[in-house]
Structure 1
Amino acid sequence: MEGDGQRLWRWLTFGPALAMMVALTVLPIANLFLTSFQNVTWADGKPTRTWAGLTHYEALFSDQLFSAGLWNTLVFAFAAVAGQMVLGFAMALAVSKITHGRVFYRAIFILPILIPGIVIGAIWKLMLNFDFGLINKALGLVGLMPHDWLGSSETALLSVIIVDIWHWTPFCFLLFLAGLETLPQDVFEAAKMDGASAWQELWYITLPLMIPTIIVTFAFRLVLAFKVFDEVYLLTSGGPGTSTEVLSFTLYQRFFTEDKAGYGSAMSVAVIFLVALLLVIALSARRRTGATS
């Protein structure tokens, strides 16, 4: 009876949180999935739903804007996350070696992540401005010609990637620093006694021990990178052309600009499936590394 009472108490305490999760997560996703098979039109402020079957999903394969958004999102996500992880790990490794002033450097390095997205967009749009931006002013000081960073299809996506790297590297830095501070120090002391160099210590001890943290950080940032919207919206609005068109911005256009709720829902389901697939792959890799370590 005591066990039944404890079980009932757990359900009573966990029930409200479970109900809220279902109401705010499961039901909206189910509605999104249902809407993806329908055409939604509005008349007198009321929606009219008609069955469309797989029409919206079939249209995804011929939608050039969706294809451009998918490709740009993949390039953006992997390039930005790779840059953030390399810089974040280097910064964390440097701070972990500092004995004095570690709190000061940590506070300085995490400043970009504390700035609101709208402010970051304004800062970088001014810095990358063709006429009076600081970047072009610096190029002029060394005798180089100014460049239209956000208005050129060759550099627009690269510019957004650089802004995202600057913005989110502190996130990777914090996770890597936390991982480095939990590594067993006796392993490093034994390596130093055996005469291991700093490079050997990094390559053969630090990196293997940090693989689980690296995989988790990569998974977190990859999922967040697939949802990028504010930086693209504020800096380029998807242009010039489709050079910075990403999936989140395409969804915004379909839902709110073109009022295609059914087609936008199908696109959303496709994006959710892709992100879930990448997350499963990352977690599977994390589980395998945990099993072999």
Structure 2
Amino acid sequence: MRKKEFARLSSGGMQTKLFGIEMLSPTILVLLIMTARPLIFTLIYSFTNYNYLKHANKAADFVLFKNYIDLFQNEYFRQAVINTIKFTILAVVLEMVLGLLVAVFIHSLKRGQKVMRTLLLLPYLLPAVTVALSWRMMLSSNYGIINQFLTSLGLPYYNWFLDTKTAFGTILVIDVWQNVPFVFLLLFASLQSVPEGQYEAARIDGADALHQFWYITIPNIKNSLALCALLRTIDTFRLFEKVNVLTGGGPAGTTSTITQFLYNYGIKSLDFGFGSAGAIVMTVLVLILSSFYIKRAMG
């Protein structure tokens, strides 16, 4: 009797698993078509000299690692990699710190939380191109409101996007301004789940606000911090719109990123073999940077 009951339960469990696989299979199929297939073809193209104009009607030749060798021998690409890594580290750190501080401050408010949340989310809701164009008008050396304000104070005005000393920092400030709300929103939602009883117990024990923040708030939202840092790292590494609209990678390559380099030397010239090699290198770099956050989150 027990054997029959065990067999029936096993059969029921197997049917449940099969049902789950059947429900997931369309999604898995779409992901394979939309993600795995382009990645595989990009990897294959990276070992060829495929150019859309030259090889539209004939097959491309395999050149093995020539594209990768040319890529790393390219001075502009090396500079783009350094710029991208530096920009990603600075942007993610600033966005995480500012987003966390804003989230803690809004969470501590007794009134006006809804109004403040709405106002803070406005920059993130704007498209990146719209943000870039708006800041380009405000920072214009001819009619920009920021330069006019500096001039009224007797300070020198700057050509923010064409000066090698200010271009990189200006784009960094714009990117941080737009994406801090995303960090704030994610961490603010996480703060809602922190038990209030832990704060009450800490206050009874005499812990001040700083100790409560370090020993209660941070440990409770550490997984959200890691997830947020991972998402921002991946997104920031793909920075393109702001650079393309505001500087085009200049001046003197100080704002050039990997995506901007691939656009200039791969997509524009239709040299898909060279561009695919750059895309693979970019993917590997993102995986390396992301692995630190994944390891931290799993630990």
Query: Where does residue 253 of structure 2 map in the other structure?
Result: 242
Return the offset for 1:44.
8.1
Return the offset for 1:55.
0.8
Segment drifting more, 205-214 vs 117-126? 205-214
Q: 1:202 to 1:53 in 2, by over 3 A?
A: same
Cα contact 2:199–2:212 (8 A) shared by 1: yes
Q: Does the alignment pair 1:177 with 2:209? A: no
Instruction: Give the partner amino acid of 1:33.
Output: L
Instruction: Give the partner amino acid of 1:46.
Output: N
Query: Is the radius of gyration larger for structure 1 or structure 2?
Result: 2
Name stretches of at least 5 consecutive residues in structure 2 with no aligned partner.
Answer: 1-10
Name stretches of at least 5 consecutive residues in structure 1 with no aligned partner.
Answer: 289-293
Q: How does 1:18-97 map to 2 (within 5 A)?
A: 18-41=28-51, 42-43=53-54, 45-97=56-108
Q: How does 1:259-278 map to 2 (within 5 A)?
A: 259-278=270-289
Q: Does the alignment pair 1:282 with 2:293? A: yes
Return the offset for 1:83.
1.4
The CA RMSD measured in Å over matched residues stands at 1.4
Corresponding residue SS for 2:140: coil
Cα contact 1:37–1:266 (8 A) shared by 2: yes
Q: Does the alignment pair 1:200 with 2:211? A: yes
Query: Where does residue 13 of structure 1 map in the other structure?
Result: 23
* Number of positions where the alignment pairs a residue of Structure 1 with one of Structure 2: 288
Cα contact 2:107–2:188 (8 A) shared by 1: yes
Q: 1:60 to 1:44 in 2, by over 3 A?
A: closer
Distance 2:175 2:260 in 1: 16
Return the offset for 1:6.
2.8
Q: 1:273 to 1:43 in 2, by over 3 A?
A: closer
Residues 216-270 of structure 1: CA distance to partner in whole angstroms, max 9, x if unpaired? 1111101100001001011111111201100111111122212211111111101
Distance 2:233 2:27 in 1: 27
Distance 2:265 2:78 in 1: 14
Q: 1:93 to 1:63 in 2, by over 3 A?
A: same
Corresponding residue SS for 1:50: coil
Q: Which has the higher strand share?
A: 1
Cα contact 1:40–1:47 (8 A) shared by 2: no
Distance 2:105 2:242 in 1: 29
